[in-house]
A = this chain, B = another copy of it.
């Protein structure tokens, strides 16, 4: 007997037919003798609709009331799944965030503080299946709180930790984590296992299978995650700790996957004074405006005593960013500002590169052979990212995928 959290996303809950299919998957786990808690998202499109209503009601809406409105989507699907499971003869019921309770702090992007597992323990002891709306909790003041977009993944992992589950299964509309985007590289392989760290790097560079926050949480509590399809009955990808993999895969690949992200814009400031404090003057105002800066490259002085600085920001933040820099122009002291939106960030990711310093060099060489210009570079312990022209995105991913030995050998 195992204790399992099963989480289903919006496309899996989009309508009664799909909910019935989900109920079938839950039933199968229950009939294996497992204790099951199910975490559900709102029907696909419903949260967008509710967010839009809040925006129309007032452009600066109160996050507390926003949470009351948007939490309703998961309330509906959890009730409907409980009804469907009961209709199949199973002992199931729903528990809202405020009923368990799932304690959280803040509004609109609340953080989970604590989940009481007592109610669930009683339910499991009585042979029951618990259906829990994702994305929601309750504040200390007794108000509904939501966790921010994609928060249901985090709900599922937090719940798995609280109830000491053996595994947290994330059912989604893809059947696992791939070495890269199969739409670009038909030879992409589904990974049987991947580490939390690799998954984090792949997620943060645009492989949006799981909310980054949920992977971080799973890593912290060493909760095994499984990504699998709610539509196809095939094995998914296990996301586990580093040591859980290396014991078994002596000859695992140096590189686990190639990711790309087309949602970054690149900004270059020319003619910066070459004095200490300049970088702080640039990034201080951006941090205040809540803008996430990613790749940063400071080039050596190119014209006299003045240098240039290049960095990337999410495209959605570009206008805010340019506005903040314009307001602080005198203070920073740059001559000229240029921005590019036709860029892509391509990253090679893998824990294997920790012990192999040649990955970056090999990546640059492969791109150079194809005459692909690199505008900026950033590295971490298990990742090398480059910013290149958007036109070469697919080509770069493909050649890197082949060069690092990731191609599926028996691909049709």
State the A residues within 8 Å of B (CB).
16, 19-20, 50, 53-54, 56-62, 64-69, 71-73, 75-76, 78-80, 82-84, 86-87, 93-94, 96, 98-99, 142-144
Of the listed residues A16, A62, A76, A143, the one surrounded by the most CB atoms of chain B closer than 10 A to its CB is A76
Q: Say whether B80 contacts A69, CB under 8 Å.
A: yes
Whole-angstrom CA separation of A60 from B54 in the bound complex: 34
A-B contact pairs, 8 of them (CB 8 A): A19-B57, A53-B76, A65-B80, A68-B94, A69-B75, A69-B79, A69-B80, A72-B75
The count of identical subunits is 2
Whole-angstrom CA separation of A64 from B95 in the bound complex: 11
* Complex interface: chain B residues within 8 A of A50 (CB): 76
Kindly identify which residue among B16, B68, B76, B93 contacts A79, using a CB–CB cutoff of 8 Å.
Answer: B68
Q: Say whether B83 contacts A66, CB under 8 Å.
A: yes
Q: Say whether B54 contacts A99, CB under 8 Å.
A: no
Do A68 and B86 contact each other (CB < 8 Å), given the known contacts A57-B16, A80-B54, A80-B57? Answer: no
Measured CB to CB, the closest approach of chain B to A378, in angstroms, equals: 40
Classify the interface of chain A: helix, strand, loop or mixed: helix
* Complex interface: chain B residues within 8 A of A73 (CB): 72
User: What 10 additional pairs, Cβ within 8 angstroms, besides A62-B86, A64-B93?
Assistant: A54-B83, A62-B83, A65-B79, A65-B93, A66-B79, A68-B79, A68-B96, A72-B73, A75-B75, A98-B98
Q: Say whether B62 contacts A82, CB under 8 Å.
A: yes
* Complex interface: chain B residues within 8 A of A67 (CB): 79
Nearest residue, chain B, Cβ from A86: B62
Q: Say whether A57 contacts B83, CB under 8 Å.
A: yes
Q: Say whether B82 contacts A72, CB under 8 Å.
A: no
Whole-angstrom CA separation of A53 from B62 in the bound complex: 30
Q: Say whether A80 contacts B60, CB under 8 Å.
A: no
Measured CB to CB, the closest approach of chain B to A193, in angstroms, equals: 36
Kindly identify which residue among B56, B87, B98 contacts A60, using a CB–CB cutoff of 8 Å.
Answer: B87
Q: Say whether B75 contacts A61, CB under 8 Å.
A: no
Q: Say whether A68 contacts B75, CB under 8 Å.
A: yes
Kindly identify which residue among B56, B83, B84, B142 contacts A99, using a CB–CB cutoff of 8 Å.
Answer: B142
Do A53 and B16 contact each other (CB < 8 Å), given the known contacts A68-B75, A68-B94, A72-B75? Answer: yes
* Complex interface: chain B residues within 8 A of A69 (CB): 75-76, 79-80, 83
* Complex interface: chain B residues within 8 A of A57 (CB): 16, 19-20, 80, 83-84, 87
Q: Say whether B78 contacts A58, CB under 8 Å.
A: no
Nearest residue, chain B, Cβ from A144: B96
Whole-angstrom CA separation of A93 from B66 in the bound complex: 11
Whole-angstrom CA separation of A144 from B144 in the bound complex: 14
Whole-angstrom CA separation of A54 from B71 in the bound complex: 19
Nearest residue, chain B, Cβ from A131: B65
* Complex interface: chain B residues within 8 A of A96 (CB): 68, 144
* Complex interface: chain B residues within 8 A of A82 (CB): 62, 65, 68
Whole-angstrom CA separation of A142 from B54 in the bound complex: 28
Whole-angstrom CA separation of A71 from B53 in the bound complex: 18
Whole-angstrom CA separation of A121 from B61 in the bound complex: 25
* Complex interface: chain B residues within 8 A of A58 (CB): 83-84, 86-87
Whole-angstrom CA separation of A143 from B65 in the bound complex: 21
Nearest residue, chain B, Cβ from A63: B83
Q: Say whether A65 contacts B86, CB under 8 Å.
A: yes
Kindly identify which residue among B53, B75, B80, B83 contacts A80, using a CB–CB cutoff of 8 Å.
Answer: B53
